[in-house]
């Protein structure tokens, strides 16, 4: 969507952008069929491998010239300097005046990363060590509940980055998880979430982790108070709280106010964004599930990808290539979305995790200087694991009218060898990317003896782009690498668009309005409503539905 407005106009005036516009006009109708036919080595050439992750981007609507121009654009937009600024702890989250240092969370002991004159790495390791010690005590049954019983259930209460990362990582690494413990996650302020997560749980054996960077988030605090009530109802003594609640937060004052001993608090820092925090103390539930050793392996995976992103030339740099391809489709082909399709059931929450990472980061309408953009920014990310998605929405990707670039993710080996199922799974992945790229021509459809009336229905236009990402096995390390790959792809995209990928002002208005509406729903007296006519009527309707439900 091109908007007419007074804008900085900088991005679209860059020589590389203009060259890309011209180049797009030349190649937009080129079909992947001819690109592959003209260059038999394409499928091996347009690939890159780093840290055990193989990226095949040959089934994209690009030529060598496209990649060259996109890289030129990245350089013109200052990506090399931006990468260094991020790793060095410069305050690149300008609107919040903060450094952006999730990369320091996986820096090895001894490395120095300076923020406001202080090396932050020793603090990172001090927290990791405390987490490890605590996790081992919980896992080993030495950390006991108030009644002296070992902890068997861990419930993480958090939302957004304080939930999506922990849930995704727990699901992804379930294979490595302690089998004799139960892990649940409560995020929604809908009481159903809390009720179902605690159903059948014995409070004496349950540990709540209250995860909130700010410790003021309405949903999390509401659920935390419900948890407190649930626990006290069963255990009856305030002192029980210290054995059954720990906090993960940057806000020690609010943690203490809630009644959690700050000795049972695991901290992190304002330079870790919520959606970039799954490898900070926010990952405490992950560490209890998979153990400190596996958690450190996950961090090592992140680190390997960090180093690759920081040092590899752009033409071989996986996050840079993926980020630039996303820009290519978003801004030149007008693609609105990106589908992420992991062919691994353990990654079922990966697309949901990526939605916050990508869309909260790059869903921005002004540049970092506050000027309206005159180009589209962050696309919608979505997805489901294959093969389930194939029987649901792939129809639209294959034959619909929209262009949907896809990321397919698969592994060489399954963690659960059941017959030949893994080969079937991977055959489907490869078949989908092949069908999307090459389709089926009218001639081919006719040659199959298709009745004439069905020919148009059975034609696949093809030329639908995809990346294929392959790795050996889904291990903690691999998960770290995959998440990090997307983190830095998002950063690459945000840098091209010139937005602040680390703030999230867009979520504030709804929060403020909800605060105003809560008393209007709760008051016994009919409230005087001052909203628009739709919102006023909806509030009145809700109040009368509520009244009717109470009577019945
Ligand atoms: O409202 C959005 C948000 O601020 C996210 O960025 C964040 O991950 C989430 O809320 C939860 O915030 P907190 O960890 O402070 O509870």
Atom nearest to 274 CA in ligand 1: 8
Cα–Cα distance for residue pair 472/484, rounded to 1 Å? 17
Measured in Å, residue 213 CA sits from the centre of ligand 1 at: 7
**Listed residue (94, 2, 100) closest to 370, CA to CA:** 94
| Cα gap 359→356, rounded to integer Å | 5
Has residue 5 got a pLDDT over 50?
no
Give catalytic status of residue 391 as yes or no. yes
Residue whose entry in the numeric block shows the structure tokens 């080595």? 41
Q: Is the pTM of this model over 0.95?
A: yes
**Per-position b or e across 248-278, b if 16+ CB within 10 A of its CB:** bbbbeebbeebebeeebbbbbbbbbbbbbbb
pLDDT for 391: 97
pLDDT tens digits for 338-387? 999 999 999 999 999 999 999 999 999 999 999 999 999 999 999 999 99
Residue 244: active-site member: no
Q: How confident is the model at residue 313 (pLDDT cuts 50, 70, 90)?
A: very high
Catalytic residue among 2, 26, 237, 511, which?
511
Q: For 121-161, what is each residue's pLDDT tens digit?
A: 999 999 999 999 999 999 999 999 999 999 999 999 999 99
Most informative mutation of 189, 215, 221, 274 for ligand 1 (most atoms within 8 A of CB) = 274
**pLDDT value at residue 31:** 98
Contact 24, 14 (CB under 8 A): no
For position 75, what pLDDT does the model report? 98
> What is the share, in percent, of the chain residues with pLDDT greater than 90?
97
In what order do the strands lie in the sheet containing 47-50? 47-50, 53-56, 466-471, 406-411, 337-342, 380-382
**pLDDT score of 4:** 41
Do 33 and 86 contact (CB within 8 A), yes or no?
Answer: no
Q: What local confidence, expressed as pLDDT, does residue 179 receive?
A: 86
Please list the residues that pair with 47 across neighbouring strands: 56
What is the C-alpha to C-alpha distance for residues 103 and 271, in angstroms, rounded to an integer? 10
Give the model's pLDDT for residue 8.
46
Query: In the structure, what pLDDT confidence band is assigned to residue 6 with cuts at 50, 70 and 90?
Result: very low
CA distances from residue 201 to 146, 198, 284 in whole angstroms, order as listed: 15, 5, 20
- pLDDT attached to residue 468: 99
pLDDT digits (tens, 9 = 90+) for 379-427: 999 999 999 999 999 999 999 999 999 999 999 999 999 999 999 999 9
Whether residue 3 has pLDDT greater than 50:
no
The helix (H) or strand (E) run that includes residue 164 is helix 164-172
pLDDT digits (tens, 9 = 90+) for 451-491: 999 999 999 999 999 999 999 999 999 999 999 999 999 99
* pLDDT score at 2: 43
Q: Is 220 in the pocket of ligand 1 (CB under 6 A)?
A: yes
pLDDT in tens, 178-189: 889 999 999 999
Q: How many helices (H) does the chain have, and how many strands (E)?
A: 24, 13
Task: Report whether residue 514 contacts ligand 1, using a CB cutoff of 6 Å.
Answer: no
Backbone angles phi, psi at 163, to 5 degrees: -135, -50
| pLDDT, position 549 | 84
Place of tokens 């960077």: 213
Q: For 253, phi and psi rounded to 5 degrees?
A: -60, -45
The H-or-E segment that residue 154 falls in is strand 153-157
Ligand 1 pocket: which of 95, 98, 157, 162 to mutate (most atoms <8 Å of CB)? 162
The band of 23, judged by pLDDT with boundaries at 50, 70 and 90, is very high
User: pLDDT by residue (tens digit) across 499-547?
Assistant: 999 999 999 999 999 999 999 999 999 999 999 999 999 999 999 999 9
Report the residue count for the chain: 552
Nearest atom (ligand 1) to Cα of 275:
8
The yes-or-no answer on residue 175 being catalytic is no
Beta-carbon contacts of 527 under 8 Å, excluding residues fewer than 6 positions away, are: 519, 520, 539
pLDDT digits (tens, 9 = 90+) for 258-275: 999 999 999 999 999 999
pLDDT of residue 178: 80
């Amino acid at each position: 969507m091109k908007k007419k407005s007074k804008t900085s106009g900088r991005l679209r005036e860059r020589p590389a952008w203009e060259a890309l516009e011209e180049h797009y006009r030349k190649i937009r109708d080129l079909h992947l069929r001819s690109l592959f036919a003209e260059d038999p080595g394409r499928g091996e050439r347009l690939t890159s491998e780093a840290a055990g992750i193989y990226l095949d981007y040959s089934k994209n609507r690009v030529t060598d010239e496209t990649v060259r121009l996109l890289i030129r654009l990245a350089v013109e937009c200052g990506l090399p300097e931006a990468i260094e600024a991020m790793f060095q702890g410069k305050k690149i989250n300008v609107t919040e005046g903060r450094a952006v240092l999730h990369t320091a969370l996986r820096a090895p002991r001894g490395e120095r990363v300076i923020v406001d004159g202080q090396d932050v790495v020793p603090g990172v390791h001090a927290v990791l060590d405390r987490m490890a010690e605590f996790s081992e005590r919980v896992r080993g049954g030495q950390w006991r509940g108030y009644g002296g019983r070992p902890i068997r259930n861990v419930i993480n209460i958090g939302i957004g980055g304080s939930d999506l990362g922990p849930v995704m990582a727990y699901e992804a690494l379930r294979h490595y998880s302690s089998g004799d413990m139960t892990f649940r996650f409560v995020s929604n302020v809908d009481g159903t979430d809390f009720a179902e997560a605690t159903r059948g749980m014995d409070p004496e054996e349950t540990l709540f982790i209250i995860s909130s960077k700010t410790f003021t988030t309405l949903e999390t605090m509401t659920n935390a108070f419900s948890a407190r009530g649930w626990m006290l109802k069963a255990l009856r003594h305030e002192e029980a709280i210290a054995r059954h609640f720990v906090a993960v937060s940057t806000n020690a004052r609010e943690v203490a106010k809630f009644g959690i001993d700050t000795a049972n608090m695991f901290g992190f820092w304002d330079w870790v964004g919520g959606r970039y925090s799954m490898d900070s103390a926010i990952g405490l539930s992950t560490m209890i599930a998979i153990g400190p050793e596996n958690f450190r392996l996950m961090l090592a995976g992140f680190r390997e990808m960090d180093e690759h992103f920081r040092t590899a030339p752009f033409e071989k740099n996986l996050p840079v290539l993926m980020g630039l391809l996303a820009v290519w489709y978003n801004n030149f082909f007008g693609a609105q979305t990106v589908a992420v399709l992991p062919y691994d059931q353990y990654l079922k929450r990966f697309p949901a995790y990526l939605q916050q990472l990508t869309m909260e980061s790059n869903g921005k309408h002004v540049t970092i200087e506050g000027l309206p953009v005159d180009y589209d920014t962050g696309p919608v990310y979505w997805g489901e694991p294959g093969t389930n998605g194939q029987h649901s929405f792939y129809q639209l990707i294959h034959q619909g009218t929209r262009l949907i670039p896809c990321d397919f993710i698969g592994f060489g080996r399954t963690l659960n060898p059941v017959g030949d199922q893994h080969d079937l799974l991977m055959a489907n992945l490869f078949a989908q990317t092949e069908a999307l790229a090459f389709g089926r021509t009218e001639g081919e459809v006719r040659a199959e003896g298709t009745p004439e009336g069905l020919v148009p229905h059975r034609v696949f236009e093809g030329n639908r782009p995809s990346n294929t990402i392959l790795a050996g096995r889904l291990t903690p390390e691999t998960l770290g690498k995959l998440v990090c790959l997307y983190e830095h792809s998002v950063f690459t995209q945000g840098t091209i668009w010139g937005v602040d990928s680390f703030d999230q002002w867009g979520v504030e208005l709804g929060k403020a309005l909800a605060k105003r509406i809560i008393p209007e729903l709760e008051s016994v007296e009919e409230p005087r409503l001052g909203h628009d006519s739709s919102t006023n009527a909806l509030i009145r309707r809700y109040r009368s539905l509520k009244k009717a439900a109470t009577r019945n």
